[in-house]
Amino acid sequence: MEQKYLRDFEARCTQEEPPACRSMCPLHVEAREFACLMAVERLDEARKILERSMPLAGLAAFLCPGHCREHCRRSEVDAGVNLPMLERACLLYTRSTKPMPMPASGKTAAVAGGGFSSLCLAYELGKKGFRVNLYHQQDIAAAFAALPPRTFPERSLGEALEQLAALRVSFEQVKDFSPDRIASLRGEKILYLGLDDPDLDPAAFGLAGPGDPLTLESPVPGLFAGGAGLSFIQAAAAGKRAAGSIVRFLQGVAPSSAREGEDIYPTKLITDLSAVAPLPPPDPADPLVPTREEAKAEAARCIPCDCLLCVKKCAYLSHYESYPKRYGREFYNTLALKFGNRRSNIQIISCALCGLCGVVCPNGADMGSFCLEARREMAQSRHMPVSAHEFALEDMAYSNSAEVAFYRPQPGRKRCRTAFFPGCRLPSSLPEQTGRLYTFLTEHLDGGVGLFYRCCGAPARWSGRERLTAANAAGLREIWEEAGGPELILACPSCALFFASELADIPVKSLWEILPGLPLPKQARPLKQSLALHDPCAARARPDLIRAVRDLAGALGQETEELPLGRDLTRCCGYGGLASAVNPELGAEIALSRARDTDKDLLCWCIMCRDSLSAVGKGALHFLDLLFPAGDEARVRPAPGISLRQERALAFRREMLQNIWNEKPDEEGDLDPINIEMDAEVAERLERRRILLSDLKRVLLYAGEKGGQFYNPQTGRTLSSLRPKQVTFWVEYSPRADGVFVVHNAYCHRMLVPGTPGEGLPTAAVLEGFDPRGGRA
C-alpha cells in the first residue's frame, strides 16, 4: 500500500485530534484526561497529568485564568467546564511530587528576570540537566505577594522555589541590571530575558523588543527574550517554548523547526453534541476552595469530547475497540510486514464493506474502501489466509458450475430484450417464489425475458482477488454476449454494485425500479402488522431504489415504518464483504446490532439481509413473501443452511428447466445413491463447521468402496477420512443393513496427515515446500 493512501485516510479521521480545551490551552494541558480522572476521584493521577505539561504545576494551576473555558465544547450546550476550578481542587487535595531532573548535561544557561516565564524556563531547562543561573532584582516572593489574597495557598510558592533548587537552579538577587552586569550577561552563550519582570529593559540589552512570539529568539544568536504582557499561563508557555528553542539552538537546529502545534490552534476533532444534555455547574460555597464533591460534579460535566461517530454505529469498528485512524495504521503495518505474524489479517477481512462509516464520517473516511484495498494487496502478495474465503469462493464456484448455472431465452424466442438475473441467493433461498416472479416478468414485459442464473462474482471482489473477479466477470459476459446482450434485470442490490464496478458496460436495471411500474401480482397481499423497512447496504447510494421500494410497499398496502438508521444510513446485515463467512461470530454481532434497532419485524429487499437477520432470530420477510406469498409464516421461516441452499439451487434449475423449458432432468450425480441419516443436532453441528452433505457423501462413497479406516469394536462405529480438496473430512458412522449410513459425527482439518486418502495433495509434495497459496487464484 502506498504510504500516501494511508496518509490520506489518516488525515480524514479526526479522532486523534486533541479536544478544544487542550488545543486552546497555552500549555496544551491534557484537560480531557485530567477531567475524566477528576470525575472518578483519581486525584493523584490527575495531578500527574497536569504536571506532565504544566511547569511548576503546584503554583501555575492556581494562576490560570482558564483560557480554555470559552472554547470548551460544552459551552455550546450550557457553560464550559471550569478547568481552573478543577485544577485548584486537584492541587489542594494532593501533594506535590519532586521533579526528576535528567543527569547534569554540563550545559548552562543564564536567565535575567524573576517573572513567571523565567521561573518556568528555568524549571524546563533544569529538568533537562541544564545548570541555570537566574538573576533578579526584586525579591521573588514579594512580587507574588502583590497578587490578590488567597490566589494560591501559602505553601505553593515555597514548594515551587524548592523544586527549582532541586533542579540545580541558582538564584542571584542583584542590586540592579547595571551596564557591567548586562555586559557580563551578554557574554553568556545562552541568555534568556524574562520581560515579564518590569526591571528588565530590552533596549539595555541591545534589543528593540521581545523575540519571536513563538520561539522567543532575538536577532542575536543565543539571546532569547519574551514573556511580557501575558497571563501567567501564557508566560509559562512562553518560558517553556523558549526552553525548547534553547535546546534546538544548542543542537544546531533552527529554533523554529518542528514547532507545529505548540501555539494555540482550533482543533479539527469532530464532536457530536446532539446527545449532550445540559448539566448545571455546581455552585461552590467558596470558589477559591472548591470541595472534592464540587470538583467531582464539575468534572462530570466534561463530555468528554470524542468523535467515534462511525464507531458508535458500526459493530465491526466497535468490536476491535479502536477507531479508523488507528486501524488504518495497523493495517498498513501488517501489509508492510516481510516476516512474522500478520496481526491485522483477520480484522481486515472481517469488515462488511458496507460503507456506512464513509457516510457517517463528516470527512468521508471509509474504512470499507480501505479494507478492500488492503485485501487486494493481501491477495496479490499471497498473504490472504487461505482458509478464510475458501468456503465462500467454493460456494460461488458451485453457483457458477455447469451443474447449476444456466441461461435460457424465454420459450418461443431466440433473443430477448431483457433477462432476469435473480443472483445466486434468491433462487436458493426462495426457489418457488423466484420462479413465480420470473413468470410474472415474462407476462408483463415486452420483448421477451430470458432467465440468467449464476452468481455475479461479488464474493470474489469482496475477497480482494482481482484475477478471480475478472475471470468471473469475463465468464458472465461471454454468456451474456451469446444471449444477444439483453438488458439484465437485477434482483440483488449487491449484484447491482458488482455490475457497476466490474461490468459497467452491460445494461442493467434493478428489479426494484421495474416492479412499481407493473400491476401487482394477483396473490400479493400485505401483512396486517406494520413492518420496519430494512434497506440493504449495497443500495445506500441508490435513492431511486430506496424510494421505489417504498412506493411498492405503498401500492401493496403494506404499512411500513422507517428505521432510525435507514436509507443511506442503513446498517449492514453482516453478510456484506463476506464478513460473516470469515468471522461468523462478528457477522452475528453485526446482524444482532441491526436486529436490535427495532422491535418490529423487518421487511427486506435483499435476500441475504433477510436470511442473515433471520438467522439471529429476527422476524424478517423478503418482498417476495408479500408479492408471491407461499402460505408459510414467512417472518419466522428459518434461513436455509449451506447444504440446503446448494440443494435448492440444483432443484431450482431442475424445476425451471423442466416446467418452463420442457427439458429432461439432468443425470443423477455419483453421490446421489449415498443415503445419509443423522439427527438434527449433528446436522446443525455440520452446518456450523461448514461441512456439506456432499462432503460427507464423498467420504462415505470412498469408504464404501475401499473400506473404512478405523473401527471401534465396542460401539460398532467406523471412522473414515478423505481429502477431496485442501480439507480433510472425517466421518464417524454406522452402515445400516438397508444401505443407509447413520452419521454420528463429522469434522475437518486442513493440516496434511500421512495415510489420508484423497486427491487433496500428496504428502511428499507438501513436504517439498508446495505452497497451497499458489494453487488458488
- Binding footprint of another protein on the chain (CB under 8 A): 340-343, 345-346, 385-388, 707-715, 718-721, 728, 730, 745, 747-756, 763, 766-767, 769-773
User: 713 contacts which partner out of ligand SF4, another protein, none, CB within 5 to 8 A by kind?
Assistant: another protein
The C-alpha cell 446448494 sits at 646
Return the sign of the alpha-carbon dihedral for residues 375, 378, 380, 384: negative
**Nearest-approach distance from CB 682 to another protein, in angstroms:** 12
State which of residues 56, 317, 456, 613 lies at the interface with ligand SF4 (CB under 6 A): 317
The item of another protein, ligand SF4, none sharing an interface with residue 20, based on CB under 5 to 8 Å by kind, is ligand SF4
| Residue pair 12/364 in contact by the 8 Å Cβ criterion | yes
Is residue 353 a contact point for ligand SF4 (CB under 6 A)? yes
Q: How far is the CB of 579 from ligand SF4 (least distance, A)?
A: 7
- For the bound state, the minimum distance from the C-beta of residue 55 to ligand SF4, rounded and expressed in Å, comes to 21
CA distance 508 to 418: 9
Q: Shortest approach of another protein to residue 688 CB, angstroms?
A: 11
In angstroms, the CA 40 to CA 36 distance is: 7
Residue of 204, 270, 397, 500 interacting with ligand SF4 (CB under 6 A): 270
Q: Is residue 490 close enough to count as binding ligand SF4 by CB under 6 A?
A: no
Phi and psi (nearest 5°) for 561? Answer: -135, 160
The residue with its CB nearest to ligand SF4 is 368
Q: Of the two residues 162 and 330, which places its CB atom closer to ligand SF4 in the complex?
A: 330
340 touches, from another protein, ligand SF4, none (C-beta below 5 to 8 Å by class): another protein
Q: Could you tell which of ligand SF4, another protein, none binds residue 352, using a CB distance below 5 to 8 A set by kind? A: ligand SF4
Q: Which cell is 746 given?
A: 463429522
Nearest distance from C-beta of residue 485 to ligand SF4, angstroms: 34
Separation between Cα atoms, residue 181 and residue 655, nearest integer Å? 106
* Residue 465 backbone dihedrals phi, psi, to 5 degrees: -90, 100
> Which parts of 737-766 interact with ligand SF4 (CB under 6 A)?
none
Kindly report the CA angle at 460 between 345 and 762, in degrees rounded to 5? 75
Instruction: Tell me the per-residue interface mask from 284 to 303 with ligand SF4, x by CB under 6 A, - otherwise.
Output: ------------------xx
Q: What is the DSSP string of 17-64?
A: SPPHHHHTSTT---HHHHHHHHHTT-HHHHHHHHHHHSTTHHHHGGG-
Establish if 316 lies at the interface with ligand SF4 (CB under 6 A): yes
- At closest approach, how far in Å is the CB of 757 from another protein? 9
Listed in sequence order, the residues at least 6 apart from 584 whose beta carbon sits closer than 8 Å to its beta carbon are 688
Instruction: Give residues with Cβ within 8 angstroms of 94, minimum separation 6.
Output: 43, 44, 46, 47
CB of 23 to ligand SF4, least distance (A): 9
In whole angstroms, what is the distance from residue 288 CA to residue 25 CA?
A: 21
Tell which one of 140, 305, 531, 626 touches ligand SF4 (CB under 6 A). 305
The answer to whether residue 419 forms part of the interface with ligand SF4 (CB under 6 A) is no
> Site size for ligand SF4, by CB under 6 A?
43
Centre a 10 Å sphere on the Cβ of residue 568 and count the other Cβ atoms it contains. Answer: 17
Query: Can you say whether the dihedral through the CA atoms of 81, 82, 84, 90 is positive or negative?
Result: negative
Does 370 interact with ligand SF4 (rule: CB under 6 A)? no
**127 contacts 163 by C-beta, under 8 angstroms:** no
Residue with Cβ nearer ligand SF4 (166 or 273): 273
Minimum distance, C-beta of residue 377 to ligand SF4, in the bound complex (Å) = 17
Should residue 458 be labelled a site residue for ligand SF4 when binding is judged by CB under 6 A? no
**The one-letter amino acid at 140:** I
117 contacts which partner out of another protein, ligand SF4, none, CB within 5 to 8 A by kind?
Answer: none
Could you say which of ligand SF4, another protein, none residue 747 binds, taking C-beta under 5 to 8 angstroms by partner kind? another protein
Kindly state the cell numbers that stand for 716.
460398532
CB 393 within 8 A of CB 464: no
Show Cβ contacts of residue 10 under 8 Å, excluding neighbours closer than 6 positions. 325, 328, 329
Q: Is residue 363 at the binding interface for ligand SF4, with CB under 6 A as the rule?
A: yes
Q: Does the protein bind ligand SF4 through residue 548 (CB under 6 A)?
A: no
In terms of CB distance, is 32 or 653 closer to ligand SF4?
32
State the burial class of residue 424 (Cβ atoms within 10 Å of its Cβ: 0-12, 13-18, 19+).
buried
- Report the alpha-carbon distance of residue 30 to residue 49 in Å, rounded: 7
Among 282, 306, 305, CA closest to 89: 282
Here the cell at position 756 is: 489420508
Regarding 239 and contact with ligand SF4 (CB under 6 A), the answer is no
Residue 728's binding partner, choosing from another protein, ligand SF4, none, with beta-carbon cut-off 5 to 8 A by kind?
A: another protein
| Residue 399 or 718 having the CB closest to another protein | 718
Nearer to another protein, 280 or 755 (CB): 755
Among 399, 408, 396, 475, CA closest to 435 = 408
Selection from another protein, ligand SF4, none that 118 binds (CB < 5 to 8 A by kind) is none
Enter the C-alpha cell of residue 74.
460544552
Interface with ligand SF4, residue 314, by CB under 6 A = yes
Q: Does 322 bind ligand SF4 (CB under 6 A)?
A: no
CA–CA distance, 289 with 256 (Å, rounded to integer)? 41
Touching ligand SF4, residues 564-603 (CB under 6 A): 572
As measured in angstroms, the least distance from the Cβ of 13 to ligand SF4 is 3
Locate all alpha helices (DSSP H) within 41-153, ordered by sequence: 43-53, 57-60, 83-92, 116-127, 140-145
Sheet (strand 508-510) strand order: 406-408, 449-453, 418-421, 487-490, 508-510
Which residue(s) pair with 731 in the sheet? 720, 746
Are the beta carbons of 193 and 224 closer than 8 angstroms? yes
494 lies in the binding site for ligand SF4 (CB under 6 A): no
Residue 699 interface partner, choices another protein, ligand SF4, none, CB cut-off 5-8 Å depending on type: none
Q: Return d(Cα 506, Cα 509) in angstroms, integer.
A: 10
Least distance between ligand SF4 and beta carbon 438 (Å): 32
Q: What is the contact mask toward ligand SF4 in residues 38 to 77, using x (rule: CB under 6 A)?
A: ----------------------------------xxx---
Q: Is 428 or 718 the residue whose CB approaches another protein more closely?
A: 718
CB of 512 to ligand SF4, least distance (A): 22
Cα torsion for 627, 633, 636, 641, to the nearest 10°? -80
Min CB(383)–another protein separation in Å: 9
**Among 13, 25, 120, 696, which residue interacts with ligand SF4 (rule: CB under 6 A)?**
13
Distance in Å, CB of 593 to ligand SF4, minimum? 10
DSSP 449-483: EEEEES--SHHHHHTT-HHHHHHHHHHHHHHHHHT
Least distance from C-beta 300 to another protein, angstroms? 43
Closest contact distance (angstroms) between CB of 381 and another protein is: 13
497 part of the interface to ligand SF4, by CB under 6 A: no
- Point out which span in 217-225, 238-246, 365-373, 470-478 binds ligand SF4 (CB under 6 A): 365-373
* Three-class DSSP category at 742: strand
Q: Which is nearer to another protein, 154 or 771 (CB)?
A: 771
The minimum distance between CB 46 and another protein, in angstroms, equals 41
Q: Does 89 bind ligand SF4 (CB under 6 A)?
A: no
- State the residues that interact with ligand SF4 by CB under 6 A: 13-15, 19-21, 31-32, 35, 72-74, 81, 270, 302-305, 307-311, 314, 316-317, 323-325, 351-357, 360-361, 363, 365, 367-368, 572
